[in-house]
Structure 1
Amino acid sequence: MTAEPGAEVVRVEGISKSFGPVTALADVNLHVRRGEVLGLIGDNGAGKSTLIKILTGYHQPDGGHIIFEGEPVTLKSVVHARSLGIETVFQDLAMIDDLPVYLNLHLNRELTHRPFPFLHRREMKRRAREALDSIGIDIPSVTAEVGMLSGGQRQAIAVARSVYSKAKLMLLDEPLAAMGAKESAVILRVLQELKRRGDIAIILIAHNYGQVMDVCDRVNLLQHGEITFDRLAGETSVAELLDLVNAEYRLGGGH
């Protein structure tokens, strides 16, 4: 049974962002708790990726506030956000194909034999296997090159890297895009396991509303630069979500 979500990890209030004459975000209010998976949906160009990039410190908002673990913060950079425990898994993975799984898990966090600058490969392999097993990721060997793995396995490793990095907030930007049902199932199983553990807040951007309903606790719809819909997944349906998004086209607001 999934634990009840814990304390609030992040809250954004009145976030706005423009790029020249184009308003990407107008007045976004959103929150997510520890152990909760929040599904963030919306049409292409709705501002979802812009919001994620603000939460990672890549973009600075023009207005509004971010509260992280109860304290107001100004995310100065991606490095600053990561130091707080904000990790992102993008659709285009930041992985090195010809490096093995265990080294990809330790990118920029390599272990060495102190005081000598030699890689502690045995310990990195042990920790990599432990990290993968802890969230149910089935990779036959941590010495396999990442480039030889399936898309689902690669995404799962990217998620595991965030968990291994002690993430408090994990942002997943279209992790299931261009994946078949079997590969998507790998990621959905990992997200279910993270939800069961209850120690990370997750925001998931996805276009497949069926998958959103399968794994998310709550759903937010981003339209016209604002969150226009916030409801528990158990209190809505794929049909309702489709109606809400398609209504914009019927009113002439679609692209």
Structure 2
Amino acid sequence: MSSDAPTVSDAPTAGDADPKIAAENVRKVFGRIVALDDVSLSVRENEIFAVVGDNGAGKSTLMNLLCGVHRPTQGSLSLDGRPVAFDGPDEARAAGIETVYQDLALMDDLDVATNIFMGNFPRKGVGPFSVVDWEETYERAATIVDTHLERDIDPRAEVAYHSGGERQLIAIARALAFDPDVVILDEPTSALSVDATELVRETVRTLRRNGKTIIIVSHSLDEIFGLADRIGVLYRGSMAAVTNTDDVSTDELRSLMVSGERS
């Protein structure tokens, strides 16, 4: 390993544990386009696993298979060792998988708590006579932010007044409102400042400390080396390599991304 390869100091203690979520020999075809071809990966419980690759490598397609947006053309998925086949993101959510997309989809003119629980509000009353329990909404939002993210964000403040890093945390909090076991993060530090990037990184580490399994989809090598325990490299729809982060150099990872081979 070359001297420019950063290492990860807070790797999980699970070792070679059984996979939390896995894909086996997955192939995804859109018309005449083969987006993924015979891709396999396994992500351990309480691990930070990064999926990297150049544009068009298949990162988004793999993410969308794992979170139920698409079904594999061939191959299979498993969760906690059991086969799963999701007919949409709601089924993946019910199984304990949440995704935070790059565009975040936050509503600036609404407060933090409303963004966190939109479509998932705590309610009081019975059946058609139930109404949003606003007191519970703000209390639960504060708990998610304070306890699970370990951040000081006012649940009553409008989202518009928050920084880019804080907005990313609010989107993560929205995912945590569904109490997932697996959190998929799509380019979580894209276009963020240095300070905001570090804020998000610290939050991802906090999620892992709190028992979550994290999958990061990214093309940022700094982000990957700063967070991931292991890395899966996609190249033209195939898995070129799966490696421990401290077993690959920056140059080797770059080479895998652009050519499918180590330099």
Q: Do the structures match in fold with TM over 0.5?
A: yes
Superposition deviation, residue 148 in structure 1: 2.2
How many residues are paired up? 249
What percentage of residue pairs aligned between the two structures are identical? 33
CA–CA distance in 2 between the matches of 1:171 and 1:151?
Answer: 19
Unaligned residue ranges in structure 2 (runs of 5+):
1-9
CA–CA distance in 2 between the matches of 1:2 and 1:49?
Answer: 25
* Deviation string, structure 1 residues 174-227 (Cα, Å, up to 9, x no partner): 111111111111110101111222x22111011211110111100110012111
Partner of 2:142: helix, strand, or coil?
helix
Superposition deviation, residue 60 in structure 1: 1.6
TM-score, normalization by structure 1:
0.91
| Alignment correspondent of 1:241 | 253
Superposition deviation, residue 165 in structure 1: 1.1
- Counterpart AA for 1:110: F
Superposition deviation, residue 11 in structure 1: 0.8
| Alignment correspondent of 1:175 | 188
CA–CA distance in 2 between the matches of 1:201 and 1:94?
Answer: 23
8 Å CA contact 2:54, 2:258 repeated in 1? no
Partner of 2:215: helix, strand, or coil?
strand
- Counterpart AA for 1:117: S
1:209-248 correspondence to structure 2 within 5 Å = 209-247=221-259
Superposition deviation, residue 232 in structure 1: 0.9
Inter-CA distance 84–136: structure 2 relative to 1 (3 Å threshold): closer
8 Å CA contact 2:185, 2:214 repeated in 1? yes
CA–CA distance in 2 between the matches of 1:211 and 1:91?
Answer: 15
- Counterpart AA for 1:182: D
TM-score, normalization by structure 2:
0.88
| Alignment correspondent of 1:20 | 31
CA–CA distance in 2 between the matches of 1:125 and 1:234?
Answer: 42
8 Å CA contact 1:139, 1:153 repeated in 2? no
Unaligned residue ranges in structure 1 (runs of 5+):
250-255
Partner of 1:46: helix, strand, or coil?
coil
Partner of 2:103: helix, strand, or coil?
coil
1:193 aligns with 2:206: yes
8 Å CA contact 1:11, 1:68 repeated in 2? yes
1:35 aligns with 2:46: yes
8 Å CA contact 1:213, 1:237 repeated in 2? no
RMSD: 1.9
Superposition deviation, residue 248 in structure 1: 5.7
Equivalent residue in structure 2 for 1:157, among 170, 187, 192: 170
- Counterpart AA for 1:168: D
CA–CA distance in 1 between the matches of 2:113 and 2:167?
Answer: 12
Higher alpha-carbon deviation: 38-47 or 101-110: 101-110
Superposition deviation, residue 2 in structure 1: 5.1
Partner of 1:98: helix, strand, or coil?
coil
Equivalent residue in structure 2 for 1:148, among 128, 144, 161: 161
